[in-house]
Amino acid sequence: MTPVLQPQRVCVLGATGSIGANALDIIARHPERFNISALSAHNNVEGMRALCVKFKPPVVVMRDEKAASALSAVLPASLPTQVVAGETALSTIASADETDTVIAGIVGAAGLPACLAAVKAGKRVLIANKEALVVAGEIIMQAARENGATVLPIDSEHNALFQCLPQTPRGQTDLVGVDRLTLTASGGPFRTRDPATLAAVTVAEAVAHPNWSMGRKISVDSATMMNKGLEVIEAARFFYMPPEQIDVLIHPQSIVHALVQYRDGSVLAQMGNPDMRTPIANALSWPERIESGVEPLDLASLSALEFSHPDPKRFPCLALAMHALAAGSAATAVLNAANEVAVAAFLEKALRFDQIPVIIESTLAAVSASRADSLGSLLAIDQNARRHASAAVARWRQ
């Protein structure tokens, strides 16, 4: 007789964003496997209202208190959903006994405390928030070891590496025989653009990713290739790989998501159509595999798969990320904070596109990169870096 599986109780942090939407699409396809224990959003009241009607979560957290009040006012009285507000509530739902699996999909450093709370509670944590590992990767991975948490990546590239590496029953990877890890990058919308013209880039151009459907901030990160720099940092900390053994290749088709080179000459690659539902489904169901709604890859229809090295003149953010990684955890926290401030300023049309790396570089130079070994000290460094970056943006605006 086939045993009856108890559904995973899933908390989705960042439910109204692109990661949340893709995760909830998969969850809706498998009601026998997954139940929603909690959802969170920042201030998207209408989006969260629709999710509450569809999934009927027991509890919802809105980080913005006004949004929480507005959501409470528009939810049907028949729904069993409790609406809570504030940052602390995110950590509460992520670590609650009623939750088995946490999808960490909040963009930026804002999602870090809840992610760490879930890890310390020994949850199965699916990390899409690359900033969590960039800012506090060493702390998170140590907490996972100490508390028996299973941490799985759902960034497409890191999930691809995970699929190509040997794994233990708790999802830890084994680097025995591994020579190099290679992350691929589409090159974004400016892969062939003359670097001399980047000052004229508009917001609309920067967020128009050629292959992936993503949020505005991460789309800009793809255009600058800071996303790949953050992913190199993430890979080094998640897989315990020395930075000098991690490569980046431009691959415009976004079909090969990562490669693992072994010492015997073998190279294993994970391939698939560019759809975030593939890595999310892989992590949600691991070590099994489930249907995700993604179209199968038709290899016969592909005319070519191209690979090349990134142009450092076109993508200076990649070198800044590698420099920060070599400097240590405090420097990567500074890097991430400065990038968030600079990208936000660009999206608000307060900064030119080509000035994003300038703000990051000046902030890295201005803020002390002493080692930080606690979440509190890292968050203090984060706030200090944001102040410096914001001041630098203000100077450029004058």
For the chain, the domains span: 8-153
Mean pLDDT within 187-196: 88
Say if residue 157 carries a ligand binding annotation.
yes
Q: Which CATH superfamily is domain 8-153 in?
A: NAD(P)-binding Rossmann-like Domain (3.40.50.720)
Q: pTM of this prediction?
A: 0.89
Across the beta sheet with 267-271, the strand order is 246-250, 178-185, 256-262, 267-271
Say if residue 362 carries a ligand binding annotation.
no
What are the start-end ranges of the E strands in the chain? 8-13, 34-41, 59-62, 82-85, 101-104, 124-127, 150-153, 178-185, 246-250, 256-262, 267-271
pLDDT at 124 over 50: yes
pLDDT at residue 340 in the model: 94
Say if residue 18 carries a ligand binding annotation.
yes
Say if residue 227 carries a ligand binding annotation.
yes
pLDDT digits (tens, 9 = 90+) for 34-91: 999 999 999 999 999 999 999 999 999 999 999 999 999 999 999 989 999 998 999 9
Extract the tokens encoding 85: 């507000």
pLDDT at 2 over 60: no
- The mean predicted confidence, pLDDT, of the chain is 91
Say if residue 186 carries a ligand binding annotation.
yes
> Does residue 343 contact residue 220 with C-beta atoms inside 8 Å?
yes
Q: What percent of the chain has pLDDT over 90?
A: 74
Say if residue 44 carries a ligand binding annotation.
yes
Say if residue 323 carries a ligand binding annotation.
no
pLDDT at 21 over 90: yes
**Residues paired with residue 38 on neighbouring β-strands, in sequence order:** 11, 59
- Give, in order, the Cα–Cα distances in Å from 80 to each of 62, 97, 99, 349: 16, 18, 17, 42
pLDDT at residue 171 in the model: 62
Say if residue 250 carries a ligand binding annotation.
no
pLDDT digits (tens, 9 = 90+) for 367-379: 976 667 788 888 8
Q: How many residues does the chain have?
A: 398
pLDDT at 1 over 90: no
pLDDT tier at 398 (50, 70, 90 boundaries)?
low
Say if residue 78 carries a ligand binding annotation.
no
- Cβ neighbours, 10 Å, residue 50: 12
pLDDT at residue 217 in the model: 86
Say if residue 159 carries a ligand binding annotation.
no
Extract the tokens encoding 387: 């102040």
Query: At 259, which amino acid appears?
Result: L
Say if residue 16 carries a ligand binding annotation.
yes
Extract the tokens encoding 260: 């693992």
pLDDT digits (tens, 9 = 90+) for 221-270: 989 999 999 999 999 999 999 999 999 999 999 999 999 999 999 999 99
d(CA 349, CA 206): 12
Angle at Cα 378 formed by Cα 377 and Cα 383, nearest 5°? 95
pLDDT at residue 4 in the model: 47
pLDDT at 215 over 80: no
Say if residue 228 carries a ligand binding annotation.
yes
Extract the tokens encoding 33: 């496997």
Residue 174: exposure state from Cβ atoms within 10 A (0-12, 13-18, ≥19)? exposed
Say if residue 65 carries a ligand binding annotation.
no
pLDDT at 192 over 90: no
Say if residue 137 carries a ligand binding annotation.
no
pLDDT at residue 136 in the model: 86
